[in-house]
């Protein structure tokens, strides 16, 4: 067995070979290019070497991050504390290992004396030394004795016979993932990794190997009228045997108790201990009212599947949250989501009225540890120019819940407005990975990577944006916002004619979609080299845009080629004059 196990994509072999040679020259043994003897099982041999290694070197590249095998090996090593990751080409790291220090090797130049390679040697040496010391002090203690039980909660299938009920089954799944994550004896696969399998036929043993989990929970939800039926089964990932299965047929008002019951049954089936504080945490739902909970799930589904430019969705979010807090005034999550809606109406759509600060602060008064409330408050403060306060709020939010979609999107937004694009990238990457329906984050990433000159990452993100746009358009062919993002992605990928076709179709179908016009103008300046068309598209946008949108345009690098053009300067000046006059009028009337 070797000292170091190297996990990498086979297509990266030429890049990995000199790295391995330089490591072996330092005296360590490396297992990386296996030759499996006749009769041996490939998977078994890999697993044996992986478990025996003192350190696992994962080579992240744009290719390897897409490999479930590499991600699974990295996750296993991270849980054992022996992961040493390196990166080429600014590869986007998987969410669950991003907190681990990663060495960038683009500039090592296959030179063993280079600073990046020396950093790598120090990291490997530290891990190997620690592992050997641990093995010497506890020679009889197997590693599995101290490891947590790994489990994946697959998205529960919606069996209600109504596609509109998908939000409810997804909400139940997310809540169970959250509940089980509170159990210290469990290691739960992230929501994003689990939802990759949504709607697909799953081979449980294969999935268990890919995700390096011992158990898989799967089930279904049927909601009709005032009743809910949930089936759930816990499957052993190695044998495919059912360890536990149950069907619950309850009144909808029992949904909270039912979720807790399922989580506690899983812990019991795995013969694990649920600590008193963990049991208490699982039973905390934010509200005891099922109707308020259902309204919140509907509102959040609108938020994560829509876009800020869709004013009707924003208004619906506010109405749903408003009704939820009428039912339960202490529902902090509904207050925080309403704050997002009010902020969007005020600063993106230029509506008079609340800016969202009051509901954000109400949410925090009810739950000071609600990360999403700190995040939206940070965005609102930034809109008012209170940047130091905004920075403090977003740091609190990131500390409370670094895996929150809303928190990462807000952090990325603030960094982008500050033109700290290298930092914005990190948070937009995470937001994009956390929510498979998020077009905004992937499009913003494309802008950031293009401005930073990272063409390979820009191309990767453009492909993701196009794929997501096409999925939406398959369901809703007249979605102008999806066409806008897709057109930008096509332009970035060099498909100019197809991009122009999408632009023409979108302008015909949805001519008043100002967000689409703005994105089309960005593609004209950045990728299609047509500033005159861009300025024509921007004319109606600047005549109507709100202050938040204007501030975005001022910071957007996609529009940099236009900033010296007198026509663009005149548009900006006219918008500033219009908004200042509107603000003065509003102040005079007290609105």
Segment 72-101, tens digit of pLDDT: 888 888 878 899 999 998 888 886 677 677
Q: Which fold has domain 4-143?
A: Rossmann fold (3.40.50)
pTM here? Answer: 0.66
424-435 exposure pattern, b = at least 16 Cβ within 10 A, e = fewer: bbbbbbbbbbbb
458, 307, 496: which is closest to 316 by C-alpha? 307
Confidence band for 584, pLDDT divided at 50, 70 and 90: low
Q: What is the pLDDT of residues 210-253, one digit of tens each?
A: 888 999 999 999 988 788 899 999 999 988 898 899 999 888 88
Determine the pLDDT at residue 100: 76
Helix (H, G, I), strand (E, B) or coil at 245: strand
The 3-class secondary structure across 279-317, one letter per residue, is HHHHCCCCCCCHHHHHHHHHHHHHHHHCCCCCHHHHHHH
In which residue are the tokens 């799930």 written? 297
d(CA 74, CA 57) in angstroms, rounded, equals 8
Confidence band for 10, pLDDT divided at 50, 70 and 90: confident
Strands 149-153 and 157-158: unpaired
Q: CATH topology of 4-143 equal to that of 149-285?
A: yes
Question: Looking at domain 479-591, which CATH architecture does it have?
Answer: Alpha Horseshoe (1.25)
Determine the pLDDT at residue 33: 63
524-550 exposure pattern, b = at least 16 Cβ within 10 A, e = fewer: bbbbbebbebbbebbeebbeebbbbbb
pLDDT above 90 for 165? no
Structural class in CATH, domain 149-285:
alpha beta
Run of H or E residues at 249:
strand 242-251
CB neighbours of 172 closer than 8 A, spacing ≥ 6? 156, 221, 230, 255, 259
- Average pLDDT, rounded, for the chain: 86
Percent of the chain with pLDDT over 90: 38
| Domain spans in the chain, listed from the N-terminal domain onward | 4-143, 149-285, 289-353, 479-591
Determine the pLDDT at residue 545: 87
- Cα separation values, 451 from 278, 444, 559, Å: 46, 11, 11
d(CA 545, CA 561) in angstroms, rounded, equals 20
Residue 155 DSSP symbol:
P
Helix (H, G, I), strand (E, B) or coil at 158: strand
Determine the pLDDT at residue 513: 85
Determine the pLDDT at residue 145: 38
Residues in a beta bridge with 246: 232
Determine the pLDDT at residue 254: 84
Least confident of 39-43, 123-127, 272-276, 411-415: 39-43
Determine the pLDDT at residue 319: 95
pLDDT above 90 for 132? no
Confidence band for 40, pLDDT divided at 50, 70 and 90: very low
Rounded to a whole number, what is the largest CA-CA distance in the chain?
85
């Amino acid at each position: 067995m070797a000292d170091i196990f190297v996990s990498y994509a086979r297509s990266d072999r030429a890049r990995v070979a000199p790295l391995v040679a330089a490591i072996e020259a330092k005296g360590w043994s490396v297992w990386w290019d296996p030759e499996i003897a006749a009769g041996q099982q490939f998977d078994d041999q890999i697993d044996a070497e992986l478990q025996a290694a003192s350190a696992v070197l994962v080579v992240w590249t744009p290719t390897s991050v897409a490999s479930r095998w590499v991600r699974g090996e990295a996750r296993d090593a991270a849980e054992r504390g022996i992961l040493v990751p390196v990166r080429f080409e600014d590869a986007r790291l998987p969410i669950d290992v991003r907190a681990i220090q990663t060495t960038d090797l683009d500039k090592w130049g296959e030179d063993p004396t280079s600073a990046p390679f020396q950093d790598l040697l120090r990291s490997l040496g530290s891990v190997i030394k620690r592992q050997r010391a641990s093995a010497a002090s506890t020679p009889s203690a197997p590693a599995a004795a101290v490891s947590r039980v790994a489990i994946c909660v697959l998205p529960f299938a919606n069996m209600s016979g109504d596609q509109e009920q998908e939000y409810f089954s997804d909400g139940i799944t997310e809540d169970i993932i959250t509940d089980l994550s509170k159990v210290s004896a469990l290691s739960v696969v992230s929501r994003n990794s689990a939802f990759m399998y949504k709607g697909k036929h799953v081979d449980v043993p294969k999935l268990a190997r890919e995700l390096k989990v011992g158990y898989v929970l799967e089930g279904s939800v049927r909601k009709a009228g005032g009743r809910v039926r949930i089936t759930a089964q816990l499957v052993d990932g190695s044998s495919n045997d059912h360890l536990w299965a149950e069907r619950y047929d309850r009144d909808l008002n029992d949904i909270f108790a039912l979720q807790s019951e399922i989580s506690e049954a899983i812990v019991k089936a795995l013969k694990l201990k649920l600590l008193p504080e963990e049991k208490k945490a699982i039973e905390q739902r934010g509200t005891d009212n099922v109707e308020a909970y259902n309204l919140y799930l509907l509102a959040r589904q609108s938020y994560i599947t829509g876009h800020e430019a869709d004013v009707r969705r924003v208004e619906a979010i506010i109405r749903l949250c408003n009704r939820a807090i009428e039912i339960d005034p202490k529902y902090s999550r509904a207050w925080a989501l309403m704050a997002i809606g009010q902020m969007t109406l005020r600063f993106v759509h230029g509506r008079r009225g609340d800016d969202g600060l009051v509901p954000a602060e109400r949410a925090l008064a009810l739950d000071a540890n609600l990360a999403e409330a700190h995040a939206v408050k940070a965005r609102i403060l930034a809109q008012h120019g209170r940047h130091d306060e905004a920075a403090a709020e977003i740091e609190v939010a990131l500390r409370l819940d670094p895996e929150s979609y809303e928190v990462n999107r807000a952090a990325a937004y603030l960094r982008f407005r500050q033109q700290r694009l290298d930092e914005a990238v990190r948070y937009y990457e995470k937001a994009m990975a956390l929510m498979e329906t998020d077009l905004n984050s992937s499009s913003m990433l494309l802008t950031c990577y293009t401005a930073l000159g990272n063409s390979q990452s820009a191309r990767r993100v453009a492909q993701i944006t196009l794929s997501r746009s096409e999925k939406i358009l398959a369901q809703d062919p007249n979605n102008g916002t999806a066409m806008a993002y897709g057109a930008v992605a096509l332009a970035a990928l060099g498909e100019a004619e197809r991009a122009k076709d999408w632009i023409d179709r979108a302008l015909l179908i949805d001519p008043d979609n100002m967000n689409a016009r703005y994105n089309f103008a960005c593609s004209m300046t950045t990728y299609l080299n047509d500033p005159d068309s861009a300025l024509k598209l921007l004319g109606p946008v600047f005549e109507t845009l709100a202050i938040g949108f204007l501030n975005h345009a001022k910071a957007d690098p996609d529009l940099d080629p236009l900033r010296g053009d007198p026509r663009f300067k005149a548009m900006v000046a006219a918008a500033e004059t219009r908004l200042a006059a509107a603000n003065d009028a509003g102040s005079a009337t007290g609105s």
